[in-house]
Structure 1
Amino acid sequence: MTNDDSTRMTAVVCHAPKDYRVEQVTRPRAGPREMVIRIAACGICASDCKCYSGAKMFWGGPSPWVKAPVIPGHEFFGYVDELGEGAAEHFGVEVGERVIAEQIVPCGKCRYCRSGQYWMCEVHNIFGFQREVADGGMADYMRIPPTAIVHRIPDGISLEDAAIIEPLACAIHTVNRGDVQLDDVVVIAGAGPLGLMMTQVAHLKTPKRLVVIDLLDERLELAREYGADVTINPKRDDALEFVRSLTNGYGCDVYIETTGAAAGVGQGLQLIRKLGRFVEFSVFGEDATVDWSIIGDRKELDVRGAHLGPYCYPVAIDLLARGLVTSKGIVTHGFTLDEWDEAIKIANSPASIKVLMKPR
């Protein structure tokens, strides 16, 4: 699809579950202290797949998370194309520079924003799910509002590496929530894009043992390349026996749940030792039901959530610039916007790990 009208652009538009259309829409313009970026790439996240499939956390209840129609996409980066009045000074950028905006657009007024905990903003506008502030990055161009948090991307970082900055920031925050120590046995459940990035980050923390669990051998092989000491495929391995053999029968010190499957929660409660640290990252498509007495009465666990990547984008960019973390092996497919139907099909299958949408 070609676009010769400078006032129009190509975009994927979410109208309802499984009703995403490639359309010609009005190209955004930059208002005061705003900018417009030309999208270089936008990843399809597991949450995008769940949203497309109609998971109730996105569409259910009296106040649904998704407010359609909306252009999806929060794993984006691009080139500064237009700067509104005062935007250059406000964001500290110039036309042509590569930039990324954090996925949340803080309101700046609620108790969380005022206390520096902006990632838990009460209003909680996230690019690609609601239009109150701006659309997402599955388009030719995207408007960045004044309250967005913007970071510049060095020229030496490849397109594929730049495209994983957002999920890598989430991975860093999650591993940090685990408070990994040198003598810890750490288990990461799930070797999808986030789990594989968490593996690389956790490896940099040099725990005593790093264990990764997944059902796909190809992903476990990647996990070993990224620093996992032990990999477990529950289809043929007894995860509990493996972990106990590494810990004198006690269980792991840190369990990071990133499978997105309810079974991963129950598995973690079995594998983790008493007084261990359980970090929950996943976005679930269904309710996860567990025996809460394990958390309190039996093990007195420290259960920690992990949401987004606050204060971690500069760290992610630095790790990529220094070659300490890589997208190689994680980014497996690239599609144009016009190929959306094929892209979401592949993203929703074991055939891919990370799928990128590339407008050009």
Structure 2
Amino acid sequence: MKNSDKRVLAAVATEPLVTQIQEFPVPELSANEGLLKVEMVGVCGTDVANYKHISDPRILGHHVVGHIEKIGAEAAKRWGVQEGDRVAMEEYLPCGQCDRCREGLYRACSFTDSRRGGLRYGNTSMHLKPGLWGGFSQYMYLHPNAVVHRLPKDVPAAEAVFTLPLANGFEWMCLEAKVGVGKTVVVQGPGQQGLACVLAAKAAGADKVIMVGRQTSIRRLQLSMQLGADAIVNTTTENLVDRIAEMTDGKMADVVVDVTSGGAEPVTQAFAIAKNRGLVILAAYKYAKIPEWDSDLVLSKSLTIKGLRGHSYRSVEMAIQCIASGKFPVSLLQSHRYGLQDVDLALRTADGKGEPNPLLVAVNPWQ
């Protein structure tokens, strides 16, 4: 039987907040392409946001772990993998030739910008052949420009799907902020990205890591302590500036990272709790203007402000090594797991509108 005669099941987001199970043919592959059998895929906040604003039908899901099902000879040589190998995928499909790619900053390559017609796993129209551009599927097409990472066989899939969020944590905390021994880090927002920053900062040797959130996130605040945070601040009942001053003997934080989902207050608070000559990292889109931007405070404290997003090849490798080490209880992060037929519920749960207490929501397309 030819590949084209076989069928692949995938959950297709056909319009805003609507998912349908559809069949696709298994693509015929050139020497530069491959096919991934999806083992598990984590649901990201980006998936949730895209699900609400679908224009062309597409298969969402980009925190993908799987096994190489088929691979062309040239792709096998280029990626250093063979059929049967277990890999973690990056969402980016960079050109490999532009200045950004040559500098190792391929997340900034214009070819990966799906908002401007670029290709990216989990956010590319199914009308572009072969259609299998997302992880909410039994199989995913491996484009010649795909970025793959070999993954140890003994790492549980429930932990492996945290690779990309944790890679962001290592990128921001270690490679960008240079967090290490003697540093105090404050993380605002106890979601996936915030918890990843906690893990990365502790893995890097930070002396004190403080997680900040509201009462509505108390379960996640408590979980951060299990993952290595030294203290938490509940902003519903505590004054953030006073508590950080108390915990640091008035020195305040060397690094503050804001990964909250919305609102201006965490940004302005970040400037207040950073020490003189401290670093403030803004790593979450607000989709709104900040009305009370106090540039004088930034100037008087000689603050450095960095806007950061995404990860690099190196930080993904760091995340894989961290997870494989077993030093942190990463398995605590997965809260919900669904089959392919329940992708809509998975997305709603990740958005806080489905089943209760979501954290890391995952989909197993074979469940």
Normalised by the length of structure 1, the TM-score is 0.89
Aligned to 1:79: 67
> 1:284 — aligned with what?
286
**2:277 is equivalent to residue 275 of structure 1:** yes
Q: Is the 8 A contact 1:186 1:211 kept in 2?
A: yes
Q: How many residues align?
A: 345
Q: 1:141 to 1:288 in 2, by over 3 A?
A: farther
Task: Tell me the residue number matched to 1:129.
Answer: 123
1:314 maps to 2:317 = yes
Counterpart Cα distance in 2 of 1:304 and 1:269: 12
- The aligned residue for residue 142 of structure 2 is 144
Task: Read off the aligned partner of 2:85 and give its amino acid letter.
Answer: E
Tell me the equivalent position of 1:61: none
The one-letter code sitting in structure 2 at the alignment partner of 1:158 is P
CA contact (8 A) 1:186 1:207 kept: yes
Q: Would you say the 8 A contact 2:183–2:207 is kept in 1? A: yes
Asked if 1:358 is matched to 2:364, the reply is yes
Residue from 343, 346, 357 that aligns with 1:343: 346
Given the superposition, is the C-alpha separation of residues 27 and 285 from structure 1 closer, same or farther in structure 2, using an over 3 Å criterion? farther
235-244 or 88-97, which deviates more = 88-97
TM-aligned CA deviation for residue 202 of structure 1: 0.8
Higher mean displacement: 165-174 or 66-75? 66-75
* Match for residue 89 of structure 2 among 97, 101, 119: 101
Counterpart of 2:299 in structure 1 is: 297
- Match of 2:331, SS state, is coil
Q: CA deviation at 1:16?
A: 3.4
Partners of 2:76 and 2:111 lie apart in 1 by 26
- The residue number in structure 2 matching 1:249 is 250
The structure in which a higher percent of residues are helix is 2
In structure 2, how many angstroms separate the alpha carbons of the residues matched to 1:200 and 1:276? 21
Corresponding residue for residue 213 of structure 2? 214
Q: Distance between the aligned counterparts of 2:305 and 2:55, measured in 1?
A: 31
| Separation in 2, partners of 1:223, 1:196 | 6
Shift of 1:69: 2.1
SS of the residue corresponding to residue 255 of structure 2 reads strand
Q: Distance in 2 between matches of 1:202 and 1:351?
A: 25
Query: What corresponds to 1:60 in structure 2?
Result: none
| Per-residue deviation, 1:314 | 1.5
Q: 1-side partners of 2:152 and 2:198: how far apart?
A: 24
8 A Cα contact 1:100 1:150, kept in partner: yes
- Aligned to 1:308, the other structure's residue is in SS state coil
Q: How many angstroms does 1:294 deviate by?
A: 4.3
The 1-side partners of 2:29 and 2:211 are apart by: 45
- Distance, in Å, in 2 between the alignment partners of 1:296 and 1:191 is 25
Letter in 2 for 1:168: L
Q: Distance in 2 between matches of 1:238 and 1:271?
A: 11
Give me the identity figure in percent: 25
Task: Report the equivalent of 2:80.
Answer: 92
CA distance in structure 2 between the partners assigned to 1:222 and 1:122 by the alignment: 37
Q: Which amino acid aligns with 1:340?
A: V
Secondary structure of residue in 1 paired with 2:186: strand
Deviation at 1:85, TM superposition (A): 4.1
* Matched residue, 2:240: 239
For the Cα contact (< 8 Å) 1:11–1:23, is it kept in 2?
Answer: yes
CA pair 194-6 structure 1, distance change in 2 beyond 3 A: farther
Q: For 1:112-127, what aligned pairs fall within 5 Å after superposition?
A: 112-124=100-112, 125-127=119-121
Normalising by structure 2, we get a TM-score of 0.87
Unaligned runs of 5+ in 1: 55-65
Paired residue secondary structure (1:335): strand
Determine the C-alpha separation between the residues in 2 that align with 1:86 and 1:204: 37
Alignment of 1:57-76 (within 5 A): 68-76=56-64
Q: Which of structure 1's runs of 4+ aligned residues deviate more than 6 A?
A: none
